[in-house]
Copies of this chain bind each other. A is one copy, B any other.
Amino acid sequence: MVRIGIVGGSGYAGIELMRLLSVHPDAELAAVTSRSEAGRPVTEVLPALRGLVDHSFREPDPGMLGDCDVVFFATPNGTAMGMARELLERGTRLIDIGADFRLRDVAAWERWYGMRHACPELAGEAVYGLPEINRAAIREARIVANPGCYPTAILLGWLPLIEAGVIDTGYLVADAISGTSGAGRGAKVASLFSEVNESFKAYGGTAHRHHPEIRQVLDASAGGPVGLVFVPHLAPMTRGMHASLYGRLSDPGANPQELFERRYRAEPFVDVLPAGSHPETRTVRGNNYCRIAVHRAPDPDSVVVLSVIDNLTKGAAGQAIQNMNIMFGLDETAGLDSPGLVP
């Protein structure tokens, strides 16, 4: 049994970790922390876990967390980097669902996140936890930087075309929408039911923090800088993320459907739909799949990729557990095999 610690257990990613781990066959929850709820039984805050989780929330404490095999950070940006050195010294591995270790360029990180990085030397060591491109490195990693939700949905949609060199990388458009749980469990007027319900909007303009994270991977794949326009939107739903990706083929003879099917044939959590399909976010509600469909647009000749995930699962806690499974030599799908909740 892998012994697990969760830091930040009362936010949505932390709750999702507990939900998934409570039925994981090879993992056991050793400790869960929450500054705001410290001292309260988990099930008092989250009655849905009654009978499944016996712990109380505690104050974060590196000593106690250092007894775990792995610690998940489901925390605001800036938290994981503060405890990383101490945990590594104790032999504990880290999976950061926050953004502390996602950018290799520490200066860029400090610019986008508006704070000083606490352990720049570790930023270079951390492995970007997208299994579909980094499985081998994840296996050995001491620190996994779990990808953001938007990057997960968007990268899995662009990579087959970029790796195959069939798309014009000078102008890539990523229009993506997120369910409201992506804004977190913090008390903000903008996230109130009566503000979000029955409305739709873009936000973050053209400068969302996931932009450099997406660029970092796309640039590496393209072998040079790509031109990316990324606009995030908020939809009146709790879970779900949908990316619509627009680009022009540089090779008009390319067969995108075939490229996607071949690229993801062996991937346990990427499902390429038949040609002509439109993936619905509900088909991945609560599970770890990314479902993708690819369309040719006739005039002008171009491509549209549609990619859906659950922002809390493949977009956060589910992918983190997938990474843990890889890191500890477990079946990669362990604890992640339930179907989406439909309807």
* Residues of chain A whose beta carbon lies under 8 Å from any beta carbon of chain B: 12, 15, 19, 22-23, 46-52, 170-171, 173, 175, 177, 179-181, 185-189, 191-203, 205-207, 227-229, 231, 233, 235-240, 242, 244, 246, 248, 271, 273, 276-286, 291, 295-300, 302, 304, 306, 308, 312, 337-343
Q: Decide if A189 touches B193 in the complex (CB within 8 Å).
A: no
- Write out the residue numbers on chain B whose beta carbons fall within 8 Å of the beta carbon of A282: 48, 198-199
Complex A-B: 15 CB contacts under 8 Å = A19-B341, A50-B271, A175-B244, A192-B193, A193-B196, A193-B197, A193-B236, A197-B197, A198-B237, A202-B306, A207-B298, A228-B299, A231-B304, A236-B237, A338-B338
Q: How many copies does the complex hold?
A: 4
Distance, CA A342 to CA B279, complexed state (A):
23
Output the nearest chain B residue to A342 by Cβ-Cβ distance: B48
Distance, CA A203 to CA B343, complexed state (A):
19
Q: Knowing A193-B236, A244-B231, A295-B205 are in contact, say whether A342-B188 is a contact too (CB < 8 A).
A: no
Q: Decide if A194 touches B180 in the complex (CB within 8 Å).
A: yes
Output the nearest chain B residue to A178 by Cβ-Cβ distance: B200
From residue A343, how far is it (CB to closest CB) to chain B in Å? 4
Distance, CA A313 to CA B96, complexed state (A):
35
Q: Decide if B235 touches A200 in the complex (CB within 8 Å).
A: yes
Output the nearest chain B residue to A286 by Cβ-Cβ distance: B341
Q: Kindly identify which residue among B47, B187, B239, B244 contacts A202, using a CB–CB cutoff of 8 Å.
A: B244
Output the nearest chain B residue to A301 by Cβ-Cβ distance: B227
- Write out the residue numbers on chain B whose beta carbons fall within 8 Å of the beta carbon of A50: 271, 283, 291
Q: Decide if A192 touches B185 in the complex (CB within 8 Å).
A: yes
- Write out the residue numbers on chain B whose beta carbons fall within 8 Å of the beta carbon of A229: 246, 297, 300, 302, 304
Best-surrounded residue of A52, A173, A197 (most CB of chain B within 10 A): A197
- Write out the residue numbers on chain B whose beta carbons fall within 8 Å of the beta carbon of A300: 170-171, 227, 229
Q: Knowing A187-B188, A237-B199, A281-B200 are in contact, say whether A206-B19 is a contact too (CB < 8 A).
A: no
From residue A282, how far is it (CB to closest CB) to chain B in Å? 4
Q: Kindly identify which residue among B180, B236, B279, B286 contacts A235, using a CB–CB cutoff of 8 Å.
A: B236
Distance, CA A165 to CA B304, complexed state (A):
26
Output the nearest chain B residue to A52 by Cβ-Cβ distance: B339
Q: Decide if B185 touches A187 in the complex (CB within 8 Å).
A: no
Q: Decide if B185 touches A47 in the complex (CB within 8 Å).
A: no
From residue A317, how far is it (CB to closest CB) to chain B in Å? 12
From residue A41, how far is it (CB to closest CB) to chain B in Å? 10
Output the nearest chain B residue to A50 by Cβ-Cβ distance: B271
- Write out the residue numbers on chain B whose beta carbons fall within 8 Å of the beta carbon of A193: 180, 191-193, 195-197, 236, 238
From residue A101, how far is it (CB to closest CB) to chain B in Å? 24
Q: Knowing A191-B193, A238-B193, A300-B229 are in contact, say whether A339-B49 is a contact too (CB < 8 A).
A: yes
Q: Kindly identify which residue among B19, B23, B186, B201 contacts A281, using a CB–CB cutoff of 8 Å.
A: B201
